[in-house]
A and B are shown apart, each in its own frame.
Chain A
Amino acid sequence: MRFFYYLDLARRSFARHRVLTALMIVAIALGIGTSMTTLTVLYLLSGDPLPGKSERTFYVQLDAGGKEGFRPGEEPNLQLSRYDAEGLLRARHAPRQALMTGGNGAIDPKRAGVDPFYADVRYTSADFFPMFDVPFARGGPWTAQEDEAHARVAVISKELAEKLFDGGDGVGRSVRLDGHELAIVGVLEYWRPTPHFYDLFTGDYGESEQIFLPFSTSRDLELERSGNIDCWDEAGLTSTAVNAPCAWIQFWVQLESPAEAAAYRDYLVSYSEEQQRNGRFMRPPNVRLRSVMEWLDFRRVVPSDVRLQAWLAFAFLAVCLLNTVGLLLAKFLRRSAEIGVRRALGASRRAIFTQFLVEAGCVGLIGGVLGLGLAWLGLYAVRQQPVDYAPLARLDPTMLATTFVIALVSSLLAGLLPAWRAARIVPALQLKSQ
């Protein structure tokens, strides 16, 4: 096989120019290592948190702001007021809808030897679980009737169940949150959507909450909320009251088709008009209905530092490749005499070209393998960073394959020009100069 002969030639060439070959391999490895590290992080952070469903799941915005500070065409409030969120939930104009907000509270483990601890909580409504495909290990979600009845129920995470019940099943037992007993109706499987898309106001890449309970119940118990709250009027002491002029609730709907989405948007406009007529809304209807990915894009969830790092790494890879082109050129032309002899003995231009491309490809592959090691180290370094997405930074098969493709393609590209120059060497001239 010709190919293996070329491989053997490449091996000999590497052995003869050890330092130069090592230089090229190290340069490619560095370039590949840095760019794969940053690309993996970028890829993980810009992923779809709700695959297969994200284009059918929408985030609702209404403009409930006050008369003051109004500028036509501005973005409406990023969240809904409690009045509007509860109203839209009751109206049930979408097949599925859920209101939600973040919170936290002290959990009393009711077990000797375990101290009370603070946990993140989500106050939401029944459709949250089927709408976001939340996986259950035991039991299931609470019902819409339980939402209306302000039932003292909760769904807890697998981690919390393990902590509270020593690995035992929690369904049917209760959890004590801020001094209130809540009956556990379901225990989740491990669930951590990335980004934390359904509430970007409690950390873009945070972990999901440990306890979920009906929003209605959380208001009865006056549990503590967290996240962002925007008040446009004097809120007084109770910014979480039904009629408070404050936006602090996220509202998601699932709509099956573009027609359904258009109909829901119309409904939001007519709802706004009705509120304006009632004197509640001071501004003309201004609604938004963004799908999951549109919403993430609009909120610029992927940190700009991460995107900047990816650009930096690819600029670095470009310089490394340019460097490789130069070194390969030097290396190949240094062997002009050898090429001249081979050509004189009957090797075609194509054969010379292929031979040198194989050599360049080998440099790329070895550099790629080393680069993969560097990327693995780089991702390890990212995991040590104080960012909420740190634990996610790991190589997956897609990125592994991408690494090799990038390494091979880029080294072949780098080898193209030098190999072409080598193939153009005129045999007679080389033989004469000897």
Chain B
Amino acid sequence: MRSRIIAAVAGLCLLPIAIFAQEFSQVRRTTNAPPKPSGVTPRTADGHPDLTGVWNGLGDNLLGVPNQIANNGLAIESESSTHDLHSGAAIATFPRNSNRPLNNEQSERAAALLRRVGSNRPIYKPEYWDMVKNLDANANEEDPSNNCMPAGIPRAGIPSYIGQTPGYFVFIYPGQGGLIATQTMYRMIPADGRQHTPLQDLDGTYAGEGIAHWDGDTLVVDTWGFNSNTWFDQIGGYFHSENMRVIERFHRDGNILTWTATVDDPDVLLEPWTTTPRVALLNPRPNAMLPESLPCSERDLAHTVTKEHH
């Protein structure tokens, strides 16, 4: 009963995004492979690719599990073929042997495993291995983005909206509802050739101080000046220090935007870590808008009684 109540609440929280997503869900998908790019890449007057647009066509944030699985590194290519995007290893794949819908418990446990099985994991210094594992195991309580806090960078992933001018970019990340409630977040990122503020002069923030430049046709956003209140991802317990630096790379190919982030945090990581590439699809409607996010009001955690992930 409790699971059904939680599911209903989560469903209501997801409703606006679900409605927005409907037009992208009409093709029944049997794989989590991103679509092939189509269309031309528009360019601005200064010759750079124009990234302006609403970019949550594949639901990088919430639509979800197929993309979340891909985010963590599994490419399911057919009923008999899956491989790990990081290591290249083949993963045993089987046709479903039941058409019976999973119940909530089965579905949550399966989704949690599918999001976590990939091999692309940041390598922390050994003294932090147990800490990461314990944060992950207790993520329902420990995840700093629960209780409607900002997801931070790089967890926020691909912005749902990008506005591009010659001198700066605006990124908008709508808040998420449900059991992973996070707050709406925005970034205003200069691309005017300025240098970073010295780290010691910055007050750490959730989004840090991002500065953009072009590397050929790839937009590079270099960010530091973070607080330590976020994780790298929704899963994993991947905490960081205030000494984290994140290099994001955005590349547009027609209607497809590909994003990766490389995290360097010499205080806690043994080596820099690069996320598995994520992909978003452009909303093709000329009048595309981001719907208003519902106010974030976390009401589910108090009803969570197990350590199972959601």
A binds B: no
Chain B: residues with CB nearer than 8 A to chain A?
none
